[in-house]
Amino acid sequence: MVGPSRFMNLLSCFELGIIDALRETPGMTAAQLGEAAGVKPDAVEQLLHLLVKENFVAHDEASGGYTLAALDGIAEADLQRVLAFMNLIKVTTLRQLFYLTESVRTGTVVGLKEIYGFDGDLYGAVGEHRDLRESWSTLMDVVTARIDPWFFDNIDIPSGAQVLDLAGNTGLGAINTYKRKASPGLRVTTFDLPEKEAECLENFRTHGVAEHCSFIGGDAFTEIPRGFDAVLIKHFLNMFDRDEVFTILHGVNKALDVGGRVHILVPVYTENLKDSYTVDYYPTFFLGCATGQGGPQKVSTYRRWLEECGFAVTETITQDPADLPPDVIPVQAVVSAEKVA
C-alpha cells in the first residue's frame, strides 16, 4: 500500500538535491539542508524520516545532523542507472497507473489519453512529448549499452549472412549487428514502417555502414520480406498479446526458407516467479503505460509459441537474476530457433 509514497519520497530527496548536499557536506542539519534545497526545514525532516528508517541516511539526534549511510557506498554509475529507472517510472508510469483498470478494459493506454491527450502507445507518445522522450531515451541508452553486447555475444550470425532486423526502427540494431558481426558479404536490413526510412538511411551513412545496411518499409503484421537467412526480433514480441505474437511468428516463418533462423530478445518472467522483479513491474507497465496489451512471458512460453509457429528452438539463454545488480528490473532472454520443414 505504501509503495507509491515510498517511491516518490526517495526520488524527491534526490530531485531536491538533498542527497547531493549531504554527499558534499556530511552532517548538515535540516535547517542547513532546507536552505541549500530552497525548502522549509520541516519538510526536509519529514522527507528524511523514511531514509533514516531504511538506513539510507543516518541522523544524529544530538547534533541534528544527517549523513549518508547506505547511500554513501553506491558507485556513481550504479546510482545513475537507478535514478534513470526511477525517473522513467515517475514520468511514464506513476500517474498513468491511475487509469490501469480502464486501460485493461479498453486495451489502450488511457493514461496517455487523459494526461497528454495522446491516442496511441508510449512509443508514439515519446515522439510528441519531450518529457516522456527524455525520460525514455535516457533509460534506453542505459539499457541498450548493457543488453546489446550481451545479445550479440549470444547469437550466431554465419559469415556472409543476409540478416533482417524486424521492427528495427531507425537502424541502430542493424548498425550494431554489422559492427559486432562483420564478415565478408554480411548484409543487414532494417524492416520497419516506411516513415522511418529517411532517418534510418541517414544513420547508416553517419555510422559508415551504408554499403552493408539497407532499409525495407512495411508492416510486420502484414508481410515480412523474403530472402533472408536470419531474422532478429529485439524488444518487440513482448509488446503484444498472444494472437499478435503468433501473427508475427507465422509471418516470419513464411518468409524464411527451411533452416532459416530467428533470434528473439525479450524481457522474461523467470520460470519461478519469485526469482525476479520483472513480474512486479512489467504487467502494469505494458498494460497501463506502454501498449495497453502484451507484457513479457516465461521462456517456456516463448519456446512453446515458436514451436507452435513452425520453428525448432535451437538455444535459449536467460540472464541469471543473481548476476544482475539488485536494482535491475527486467531479466532478459535470447531464444534462437530454426524453421522446420
Q: In sequence order, what are the beta bridge partners of 331? A: 268
Residue 70 per-residue DSSP state: G
- CA-nearest of 226, 300, 28, 251 to 20 is 28
**What's the DSSP call for residue 340?**
-
Q: Which is nearer to a copy of itself, 57 or 220 (CB)?
A: 57
Ramachandran angles phi, psi of 340, nearest 5°: -105, 160
Tell me which H or E stretch contains 43. helix 41-53
String marking each residue 286-315 x if it binds a copy of itself according to CB under 8 A: xxx----xxx--------------------
Binding of residue 333 to a copy of itself (CB under 8 A): no
Find the helix packing angle between 41-53 and 30-37, rounded to 10°.
110
Minimum distance between the CB of residue 192 and a copy of itself, rounded to whole angstroms? 24
In the list 56, 66, 85, 136, the residue contacting a copy of itself (rule: CB under 8 A) is 85
What distance in Å separates the CA atoms of residue 339 and residue 43, rounded to the nearest whole number?
61
- x-or-dash pattern for a copy of itself, window 165-204, by CB under 8 A? ----------------------------------------
In the complex, what is the shortest distance from the CB of residue 222 to a copy of itself, in angstroms, rounded to a whole number? 22
Q: Is 138 in the site for a copy of itself (CB under 8 A)?
A: no
One-letter amino acid at 282 equals: Y
- From residue 235 to residue 264, the character string flagging contacts with a copy of itself as x (rule: CB under 8 A) and all else as - is ------xx----------------------
269 binds a copy of itself (CB under 8 A): yes
Which of 69, 329 has the CB closer to a copy of itself? 329
d(CA 216, CA 200): 10
- Do 12 and 94 form a contact (C-beta atoms < 8 A)? no
Binding to a copy of itself by residue 148, rule CB under 8 A?
Answer: no
Integer Cα distance of 110 and 69 in angstroms: 40
- Interacting stretch for a copy of itself, rule CB under 8 A, among 143-151, 156-164, 211-219, 276-284? 276-284
**Residue 227 per-residue DSSP state:** S
Q: Which of 12, 29, 247, 318 binds a copy of itself (CB under 8 A)?
A: 12
Question: Of 3 and 73, which has the nearer Cβ to a copy of itself?
Answer: 3
The CA distance from 333 to 318, in Å, is 4
CA 50, 56, 59, 65 dihedral sign is negative
Q: Summarize as ranges the residues that interact with a copy of itself (CB under 8 A).
A: 1-9, 11-12, 15-16, 38-40, 42-43, 46-47, 49-50, 52-53, 82, 85-86, 89-90, 93-95, 97-98, 100-101, 104-105, 107, 241-242, 269, 273-274, 277, 279-288, 293-295, 327, 329
